[in-house]
Chain A
Amino acid sequence: MHPVLTDRRRLALYLFTWMLLALLLALLVMEPGRRGIPAALLLTLPPTLVYAFVCLAAWYPVRAMPLERSGVWAMLVSHAFAAMLLSGVWVLLFRFSAQTLTPVLEGGVAAIANRTPTLFVAGALLYLLAVAFHYLLVAIERSSRVEKQEIEVRMLAREAELKVLKAQLDPHFLFNSLNSISSLCGSNPASARTLTTLLAEYLRKSLRMGNTEAISLSEELELASSYLAIERIRFGPRLELAQEIEESVRAYRVPPLLLQPLVENAVKHGIGQLIEGGTLQITAMKDRGVVRISVENRCDPDRAPQQGEGIGLVNTRRRVEMFYGPAARVDIIDEPTRYRVSLVLPA
């Protein structure tokens, strides 16, 4: 849609400019003594306003020939050609208007005829001005669009972070942990104290991490360890842990809380659903030019089939893409008794 016609304020401003032009032209055609300003304006205003709308058509060639992608000569020739053609129309408009006004305005036709060359040049220049104006509009629209996109990307990143943080402070995890503490206070106060400290440590770490752009893989794994230490107290021997982290990837940069949702899912939907429990395995290594981080767990072969990917996984994919670009990927292995999420990231 046309950017001027669709915006009432822009249209009013545009037409006002053209009215000023009509006034200027009226000064040109007025003849002191014979024809005053009001009469001259009567002669110039209608054709000028019609031409104002004609010039809006410049939008189409401007869109067809963007500044950065069109040859200079092609642009000059086509706009100049259009300018002359439309200026012809503009002169005819004046003649027609003068003729129509003959009964009330004497000598109008002659006045216009005398000034035909001037009018023609003015018409052509005005059209070219309109072309320039439309190029400006295109540029403004584009920059505001780019700005909007940038804001959107930033908001998406922010939203993903917030979601992760929210998932982080899973109320059920908190309430269950508090219940464990409450229970241990009676039977094993030392354990209760340990659990309180672990929980505090875990909360402190995850809250602090929400504010950082990137952390080392080691830091992320420490958070997972605090979390799993808490879950071990609740689940007991049902939850076995195995970690295999290559030295060379410990300093690798990851967005904070990248692995945490995967680890939590592995406990909640994987091992937590098994009566006999199982092992949660975290591995990280360099492998043929990529860094591969995997979280794997045993799972119940009778689990309900998932309808598409869980929200957690969709978020993980988005964050990986945002942080590492399109080269990174998230691979899922979904077997009856084994579930594994692997992040394959640029080394």
Chain B
Amino acid sequence: MSMQPITVLIVDDEDPARAIVREYLSDYPQFVVAAECANGYEAVKAAAEHRPDLIFLDIQMPKLDGFEVLDLLETKPQVVFVTAYDEYAIRAFEVRAIDYLLKPFTAARFAEVVAHAEERLRRRDGSARESAANVASSIRRPMQRIAFRDGATIDVVPVQRIDYIEAQDDYIHVWSRGQRYVKQQPLGDLEALLDATRFIRVHRSYIVNLESLARVEPYAKDSRVALLKDGTRIPVSRAGYERLKGLL
């Protein structure tokens, strides 16, 4: 059993909230704080750089909340949520968080969390780390914004600015004001997260924002095409047309 240090990331937008995690953690030398982050962007970057084993993650933060941060991480670390809100406990459970620390917390409670984290990390050590799963489905519904990551660049697109979404193999291409954003996610998963009264699956490979739709025209025999306000043409399947008709 190797006793490598466990690298940790502390993410919270409030300075005193980060400080107490750091202070409590200083009693456990096997844990090494690689970085502290004051927002989601910093967290995603620091995670890419330090590949932490464990992340103490606040949920309510500007721009990117804790779940969105987790969704953007390629290698998911073990997660302990630290928050004043108790209403996220179920979603935390869904992403297999190690624990859920309610602010404020005692040193004894923190010791439990640390023991639990260490046990889980040591057990998994060496083997492929299976951790925070099912993250996308834990995003708040209906989704308000989608976060994309391209290397070190993070883009957050509010859903109301999306024109349409296109599936390409394992990836989705999200088009917003002529810009394309790419993410690896099945189109159906995303569809389930979006407000179904505003985003319509018009085709096996396309979802359209009703706000961006100008009109639907007949195309060849038995097929139709959706014309967007910016001139884009999108194929509409028969089932997609039925769904559109139901909403218009």
Binding site for B on A (CB under 8 A): 171-172, 175-176, 178-184, 186-187, 233-236, 238, 272-275, 300, 302-305
Contacts and interface: CB of A to CB of B under 8 A. Distances in A.
B158 A302 contact: yes
Contacts of B63: 273, 275, 300, 302
26 contacts: A175-B103, A179-B84, A179-B104, A179-B105, A180-B14, A180-B17, A181-B104, A182-B105, A183-B16, A183-B20, A183-B23, A186-B23, A187-B16, A187-B19, A187-B23, A233-B16, A234-B15, A234-B17, A235-B13, A273-B62, A273-B63, A275-B38, A275-B41, A275-B62, A302-B145, A302-B156
Contacts of A235: 13-14
Contacts of A238: 13
Nearest to B21: A183
B52 to A, nearest CB: 21
A180 B62 contact: no
B168 interface: no
A171 B87 CA distance: 12
A120 to B, nearest CB: 72
Interface residues of B, number: 27
A175 B159 CA distance: 31
Contact of B103 (A176, A186, A236, A275): A176
Contact of A304 (B62, B105, B145): B145
Contact of B104 (A171, A172, A182): A182
Interface in B27-55: 38-39, 41
Which of B16, B102, B145, B156: most chain A CB closer than 10 A? B16
A300 B39 CA distance: 15
Interface in B53-74: 60, 62-63
Given A172-B84, A178-B103, A300-B62, A184 B16 contact: yes
Given A179-B103, A273-B63, A275-B38, 6 more contacts: A179-B20, A179-B84, A233-B16, A234-B15, A238-B13, A272-B13
Contacts of A274: 62
B158 A175 contact: no
B223 interface: no
Given A172-B85, A175-B84, A175-B102, A182 B20 contact: yes
Given A187-B23, A275-B39, A305-B160, A234 B14 contact: yes
Which of B102, B104, B145, B159: most chain A CB closer than 10 A? B104
B184 interface: no
Contacts of B157: 302
Given A182-B104, A183-B17, A236-B15, A304 B144 contact: yes
Nearest to A304: B144
Given A273-B62, A273-B63, A179 B145 contact: no
Contacts of B104: 175, 178-179, 181-182
A188 to B, nearest CB: 9
A234 B62 contact: no
Nearest to B156: A302
B160 A304 contact: yes
Contacts of B156: 302
Nearest to B159: A304
B139 to A, nearest CB: 13
Interface string B7-25: 0000001111101100100
Nearest to B17: A179
Contact of B14 (A176, A182, A187, A273): A176
Interface in B119-161: 144-145, 156-160
Contacts of A300: 62-63
Given A274-B62, A302-B158, A176 B20 contact: no
Contacts of A234: 14-17
Contacts of B16: 179-180, 183-184, 187, 233-234
